[in-house]
Each structure stands twice: as C-alpha cells, then as structure tokens.
Amino acid sequence: MKKILLEEISVSEFREIFKEVILKEVSSLFNVNNGQLEELLNRKSTAELLDVSLVTLNLWTKHGKVPAYRIGNRLYYKRTEILEGLKRIVSDRSKTY
C-alpha cells in the first residue's frame, strides 16, 4: 500500500484532490457517461422490474445471473445489466425445455 505524506497543503487543496480521486473511482465503478450516473436499483425495485420475488432475485444474484453491487450493507443493481441478465435468464429457461 502506498503511503502519502502531506506537507504544506491547505484544507481546500486537500478537498479538491480528494474530490477528484473519489469522482474518478465512482466513475469507473458505475460507468458515468456524459456526466450522468447509471441508474441503480435497490432489491425491491429490481424484483418488481423482473416480476420475481426477492428470494428468486437473491438466488439469481448468488448464481451470477444478475450482477449486484454492495454499497455499505445494501445491494444495488444497474438497470442496464438487469435487462442484459434478463436476456440470459430467458435463454437459459428455453434451453431446459
């Protein structure tokens, strides 16, 4: 892990540097396009979008059919990835019949 020693830096300069680093990390994590953050859905909204129970959503997440992102102790889903995952789920179902 890198260590950074800060000397002779003002609080406002530190805030700006910190802000830039955080924005860069968030942008890379959540695919910020044209300054717009991709829509994140909570578990309930995702289950409603997919018209499944929370238990089913949990199983799909556990098996990697729909990717989830943990922020703190909560799970969130990207709308675009949910729609892509739905295509995979439908194609998996058609293979079993």
> How high is the mean pLDDT in each 10-residue block of the chain (97 residues)?
74 85 71 64 92 93 88 88 77 66
| Residues 6 or more apart in contact with residue 57 via CB below 8 angstroms | 43, 46, 47, 50, 66
**Whether this model's pTM surpasses 0.75:** no
The tokens for 8 are: 């002779």
Q: List, in order of start, the domains of the chain with CATH numbers.
A: 38-97 (1.10.1660.10)
